[in-house]
Amino acid sequence: MPDANSLTPVGQASRPFLAGIDVGGTNIKVGLVDNKGKTLAYYTFPTDVERGPDDGCRRMAEAVRRVTSDAKADLGDVVRIGLATPGTMDVPAGLLLEPHNLQGWWNYPIRDRLAEAAGIPVTFANDANAAAYGEFWVGSGQQYNSMILLTLGTGIGGGIIIGDKLIEGEHSCGGEVGHIIIDMSDDAMKDNAGKTGSLEAYASAGGVVKRAQAALAKDSSSVLAKIGLAEDELTPLAIAEAAEQGDLLARNVVLDTAKYLGIGITTLVHTIDPESVVLGGAMTFGGNDNALGREFLQAICDEFNRRTFPTLAGKIIIDFATLGGDAGYLGAAGLARLAHR
Amino acid sequence: MPDANSLTPVGQASRPFLAGIDVGGTNIKVGLVDNKGKTLAYYTFPTDVERGPDDGCRRMAEAVRRVTSDAKADLGDVVRIGLATPGTMDVPAGLLLEPHNLQGWWNYPIRDRLAEAAGIPVTFANDANAAAYGEFWVGSGQQYNSMILLTLGTGIGGGIIIGDKLIEGEHSCGGEVGHIIIDMSDDAMKDNAGKTGSLEAYASAGGVVKRAQAALAKDSSSVLAKIGLAEDELTPLAIAEAAEQGDLLARNVVLDTAKYLGIGITTLVHTIDPESVVLGGAMTFGGNDNALGREFLQAICDEFNRRTFPTLAGKIIIDFATLGGDAGYLGAAGLARLAHR
């Protein structure tokens, strides 16, 4: 959520305006964004999935009018809405397919229904791709020509931008960067979708916790073993705190996560050869503001530089994202802006 | 090399014309190509690397005039040359950097020198990327909007095309599809560049032979053991012939190659989500014309379909390339055509 003090007054904003909407399973975020990516007004409200998609579209349209009014802007200046949702989806058709966290909103023509409810044309995108475009447009990737985002959380999502163009893919599955395979062995770890050997299986929150559990089963000297955490208390945060206190097992879990990410990034860079790779999400161990986060990033860079071609070593900018949870609505607005131009 | 009977007479050709040049360590291939990708005339000559790059450019310019004359075309109709070379290279600068098989041609501004020698503007590309564009333009990928090529040979090269746009990358390293990592373990196989765990390490000609050697060390019942091949006689061709005779060890080597490719293709598809994946090069076990080739392809598809998302299983067209060794000069001509438009 943008700080109230960071909002741009409408008098200093650059027209046209876009509304960016990021639909999650719990909350919907709506921002009124100007042509340079500045937020004029922001509003968030519960998704209330059970109220159904028609009611959701009605409330989203209402929220667009609300942020426009809050910003003291004119609805006529809002030329387009950018709508980001979790998959699965058919982007060209404007269709939600079977998104796991929007039960009851399946096979729903959300793009056109929202456009009808709001009376404003809508650009539709995958939420992870929208977040990538947000970081590319006004976040950590803004000075680069091309960028890959990896969002580290419960899963690993992301997106790929090359020269202002989002790689959406032919079946709305472009940039599924958590689902590249880093371990082809038969006993590789499994990810949230039950697939073996993916980057997500190793480096998502679930992967981190599973690896910590496996290590604790063999080594009881860790503070994590001594404080006797119940299984559901062994979280990435608990592991990060132990690592910060110098616990060897916890540190190894964190640095192994960096190694797996460095391997995955090597694969992605050899495919795309982007100018920058950006790491977002909750699983960044505090990012640049924290010693552990900086050590984590350095270990990722080391693994990549060791594995890549000599010509690329040291040349790819790998850094943390800067927009946090705002990347989705900002990127959705940015994609709407591209579609409007 | 195009069959003489397949050449298009200049009277039936579509203007403007392009010259496509594919520079290899042994030979240089030059084709005069029309606006629809038809070859009007073709000429190949030894690279003679030791004669140096200036002499090379002079002979390439001469060859362009020769194919134009052979086709009874007018040099004024040849609007642009497409030049494909092996890397390393700096594409935007038009520079050869340190190509292993063009010793003495290093740090050479080949694009501009050829343009001077020929008096025709030149578009410069990586040879593997040019081959990918060739298959996309007039080969196996021609009915698709996006395509990934993997060229299976001594190494694994390739390229990625999305909507008529080649993914060249920011450092001329886009589409290095042989250098994605499929095995992160410390004892993974090594590729030609000494890097561990890459797709090339497992599925290139060298990888195939090394895996066969390792299998033969443990199992002497194979016909490959019985005929007592010297180490340098154990080639992919010998392995393919044994597999065709039903030799179990040889068949497993071939089908394991398919498995590794299926894993690598899963990673590439989850990154790009293309309409098609095309397999070219010498290591395709006879391709569609051969039972072993068809079995190899089916095993690749099976591995991919098993590992991908349900929404993508069965949806990605995976097939063999059709242009053979002509893909490079045709693709170079096609890229020149794009630059001219």
- Report, as an integer, the average pLDDT of B47-71: 98
CA distance A78 to B19: 50
- Residue A94's φ and ψ, nearest 5 degrees, are 70, 30
CA distance A131 to A140: 11
Residue B248: how many other CB atoms lie within 10 Å = 14
Chain A CB contacts of B170 below 8 Å: 145-146, 273-275
Chain A CB contacts of B195 below 8 Å: 307
From first to last of its 341 residues, chain A has per-residue pLDDT tens of 888 888 999 999 999 999 999 999 999 999 999 999 999 999 999 999 999 999 999 999 999 999 999 999 999 999 999 999 998 999 999 999 999 999 999 999 999 999 999 999 999 999 999 999 999 999 999 999 999 999 999 999 999 999 999 999 999 999 999 999 999 999 999 998 899 999 999 999 999 999 999 999 998 899 998 776 666 789 999 999 999 999 999 999 999 999 999 999 999 999 999 999 999 999 999 999 999 999 999 999 999 999 999 999 999 999 999 999 999 999 999 999 999 98
Residue of chain A nearest B315, judged by CA positions:
A171
The order of strands in the sheet holding B165-166 is: B165-166, B156-162, B146-152, B276-280, B317-320
Q: CB B270 to CB A176 under 8 A?
A: yes
8 A C-beta contact, residue A206 and residue A257: no
8 A C-beta contact, residue B239 and residue B209: yes
Q: CB A309 to CB B267 under 8 A?
A: no
Q: Six-digit token pair at A26?
A: 């719990």
With a CB cutoff of 8 Å and minimum separation 6, the contacts of B253 are B208, B211, B212, B215, B239, B243
**Tens of pLDDT, residues B65-123:** 999 999 999 999 999 999 999 989 999 999 999 999 999 999 999 999 999 999 999 99
pLDDT (0 to 100) of residue A27: 97
pLDDT (0 to 100) of residue B232: 75
Chain A CB contacts of B145 below 8 Å: 170
The SS3 of residue A181 is strand
From the DSSP assignment, how many helices (H) and strands (E) are in chain B? 10, 12
Residue of B185, B195, B271 lying closest to A185 (CB–CB): B185
Give per-residue burial for B148-158: e unless 16+ CB within 10 Å, then b.
bbbbbbebbbb
Is this prediction's pTM over 0.80? yes
8 A C-beta contact, residue B142 and residue B36: no
Q: CB B271 to CB A273 under 8 A?
A: no
**What number is the ipTM of this complex?**
0.96
pLDDT tier at B226 (50, 70, 90 boundaries)? confident
pLDDT (0 to 100) of residue A229: 67
The SS3 of residue B340 is helix
8 A C-beta contact, residue B253 and residue B202: no
Q: Nearest CA of chain B to the CA of A271: how many Å? A: 5
Q: Which residue has the tokens 């559990």?
A: A213
User: For A84, left (φ over 0), alpha (ψ -120 to 50), or beta?
Assistant: beta
With a CB cutoff of 8 Å and minimum separation 6, the contacts of B90 are B97, B172
User: For B222, left (φ over 0), alpha (ψ -120 to 50), or beta?
Assistant: beta
CA distance A184 to B36: 42
pLDDT (0 to 100) of residue B6: 87
DSSP B17: E
With a CB cutoff of 8 Å and minimum separation 6, the contacts of A168 are A91, A125, A126, A129, A174, A175, B273
Residue of chain A nearest B272, judged by CA positions:
A174
Residue of chain B nearest A264, judged by CA positions:
B181
Residue of A88, A171, A315 lying closest to B273 (CB–CB): A171
CA B141 from centroid of its chain's CA atoms: 13
Interface of A with B (CB under 8 A): 88, 97, 145-146, 160, 162, 167-177, 179-185, 193, 195-197, 260, 263, 266-275, 307, 309, 311-312, 315
CA distance A269 to B103: 27
Q: CB B311 to CB A97 under 8 A?
A: yes
The order of strands in the sheet holding A122-126 is: A39-46, A27-33, A17-23, A78-85, A122-126
pLDDT tier at B228 (50, 70, 90 boundaries)? low
Residue of chain B nearest A185, judged by CA positions:
B183
8 A C-beta contact, residue A191 and residue A201: yes
Q: CB B271 to CB A274 under 8 A?
A: no
Q: CB B273 to CB A160 under 8 A?
A: no
Q: Nearest CA of chain B to the CA of A325: how many Å? A: 23
- Helices B236-244 + B291-307 axis angle, to 10: 100
Chain B CB contacts of A305 below 8 Å: none
CA distance A114 to A61: 7
Residue of B173, B185, B267 lying closest to A309 (CB–CB): B173
User: Which uninterrupted H or E stretch holds A167?
Assistant: none
CA distance A192 to A287: 24
